Amino acid sequence: MPVDALRFLSPSRTSPARPRIQSTRMGGPARENLHETDLIREAQAGSRTAFDALVRQYDQAVLRLAMHLTGSEQDAQDIQQEAFLKAYRYLGNFRFECSFYTWIYRIVTNLCLDHLRRRKARREDQAVVIDSSGEEMDLLTNISDERAGANPGRELDRKYLGQRILMALDELTPRERMVFELKHYQGLRLRTIGEMLNTTEETAKNTLFRATKKLRAKLAELR
Kindly tell me which residue out of 70, 72, 186, 207 binds another protein, with binding defined by CB under 8 A.
186
According to CB under 8 A, which residues from 129 to 158 bind another protein? 129, 132, 139, 142-144, 147-148, 158
- Residue 14 in contact with another protein, rule: CB under 8 A: yes
Q: Residue 29 Cβ, how far from another protein at the closest point, in Å?
A: 23
Q: Residues 26, 53, 67, 167: which binds another protein (CB under 8 A)? A: 67
Sequence-distant (≥ 6) Cβ neighbours of residue 101 within 8 angstroms? 25, 26, 58
CB hemisphere CA count around 200 (13 angstroms): 7
- Strand extents, DSSP E, the chain: 129-130, 136-137
Closer residue to another protein, CB minimum distance, 35 or 68: 68
**Of the candidates 78, 135, 146, 171, which one interacts with another protein according to CB under 8 A?**
78
At 57, which helix (H) or strand (E)? Answer: helix 48-70
Nearer to another protein, 35 or 117 (CB): 117
Number of residues that bind another protein (CB under 8 A): 73
The DSSP line for 116-162 is HHHHHHHHHTS--EE-TTS-EE-TTS-HHHHTT----TTHHHHHHHH
> In angstroms, what is the minimal distance from the CB of 31 to another protein?
26
Question: How far, in Å, CA of 78 to CA of 183, rounded?
Answer: 23
Determine which residue in the list 77, 173, 200, 203 makes contact with another protein, applying CB under 8 A. 77
